[in-house]
Amino acid sequence: MSKDIATPVRTQEILKKFGFSFKKSLGQNFLIDTNILKRIVDHANLTEKSGAIEIGPGIGALTEQLARNSEKVVAFEIDQRLLPILKETLAPYSNTTIIHEDVLKANVKEVIEEQFKGLEDIMVVANLPYYVTTPIIMKLLEEKLPIRGIVCMLQKEVADRIAAKPGGKDYGSLSIAVQYYTEAETVMVVPKTVFMPQPNVDSAVIRLTVRQEPVVKVRSEDFFFQVTRASFAQRRKTILNNLTSQLPDGKAKKDMILQALEKAEIEPARRGETLSIAEFAQLSDALLDHFA
């Protein structure tokens, strides 16, 4: 077996050989601890019949571990300078494919159909660039891809928000959006010291298991998410004040909003962070007739 990529010495050697310098704008922080990478892969529960999708493979440290533990790996890399490096570092692994594309612009469904023929178990496993974590996760979930779930490294603060339960300061529209589609849990916290260069923030690994059906049934998904976003627009405001100021013509329709709150059995003086996903579902369904 070839030498692990994810050691400080080997990473330095590779970067030096190719004259690679980190681009802050791409949020490049490479993992240099093989044990952490192995634990991330363990949390994805891959088998030799699994397909793995990676986003931002860097120099291939996680890709290598995925290649050893799955049938096939497809990685999206936006930085052209990394392509020759990946070609060399992943040469021992014939089951890896690198796609030079921004995952946010890619047709991921099409890639899955082309690259993972005959594979029924597909996981996204990635050390996500921190500046685009949320848009990437939401794209993967909103497109309802045929994946079992996502295991990804991200900023600890964002992981806390995604996995948060009602009532706390971390709970918000992001928690609801992700938990609507998945079961979310933080599976490990990762120190800054295992990255090169070291980020300014702590990191965590989160596991999102895609639900067969969304956690609640709503009449309109778009409107449900609009209502949840509106409810958290200003966290210190009551749900009534937020909805009145954020929904279209909300001020003129204040009485209708009050009626909908009453119908959903929600006190107008409550704050958004106290409402469960089920309560938001009832509320958005009650409001829909007035705002559709």
| Residue 218: both structure tokens together | 């709503």
User: At 197, is the pLDDT very low, low, confident or very high (cuts 50, 70, 90)?
Assistant: confident
Indicate the pLDDT class of residue 3, thresholds 50, 70 and 90.
Answer: confident
Specify whether the CB–CB gap between 99 and 75 falls below 8 A.
yes
Check pLDDT > 80 for residue 85. yes
How many helices (H) does the chain have, and how many strands (E)?
12, 9
Give the residue-averaged pLDDT of 264-274.
97
29 marked as part of a ligand binding site: yes
CATH number of 221-291: 1.10.8.100
Residue 143's nearest CA partner among 108, 187, 105, 188 is: 108
List pLDDT tens digits, range 53-74: 999 999 999 999 999 999 999 9
Does 42 appear as a known binding residue? no
Residues 6+ apart with CB under 8 A from 174: 134, 158, 161, 162
pLDDT tens per residue across span 150-171: 999 999 999 999 999 999 999 9
In this prediction, residue 1 carries a pLDDT of: 60
3-state secondary structure of 155: strand
**DSSP annotation of 212:** S
Amino acid at 241: N
CATH of domain 8-210: 3.40.50.150
What's the confidence (pLDDT) of residue 129? 83
Q: Rounded to whole angstroms, how far apart are CA atoms 49 and 103?
A: 24
Residues of the chain with CATH 3.40.50.150: 8-210
Task: Say if residue 185's pLDDT is above 70.
Answer: yes
pLDDT at 198 > cutoff 90: no
Beta strand 203-210 with 182-190: parallel, antiparallel or unpaired?
antiparallel
Determine if residue 31 is labeled as part of a ligand binding site.
Answer: yes
Q: Looking at the chain, which residues constitute the CATH 1.10.8.100 domain(s)?
A: 221-291
Q: Which residues, other chains included, contact 178 with Cβ-Cβ below 8 Å and sequence gap of 6+? A: 137, 138, 141, 162, 184, 208
Q: Does residue 88 carry a pLDDT above 80?
A: yes
pLDDT above 80 for 2: no
Residues 6+ apart with CB under 8 A from 236: 271
Nearest to 290 by CA among 242, 257, 243, 244: 257
* Confidence check: pLDDT of 265 > 80: yes
- Contact partners, residue 114, CB within 8 Å, separation at least 6: none
- Range from 43-57, 87-101, 190-204, 277-291 carrying the lowest mean pLDDT: 190-204
Bridge pairing between strands 30-31 and 195-196:
antiparallel
Provide the edge-to-edge strand list for the sheet that holds 96-99.
Answer: 96-99, 72-76, 50-55, 121-127, 149-155, 203-210, 182-190
Say if residues 258 and 240 touch (Cβ distance below 8 Å). yes
Q: Which residues are CB-neighbours of 272 under 8 A, at least 6 positions away?
A: 172, 228, 231, 232, 235, 239, 242
Is 102 labelled a binding residue?
Answer: yes
127 marked as binding residue: yes
Tell me the mean pLDDT in the region 257-269.
97
Average pLDDT score over residue span 271-281: 97
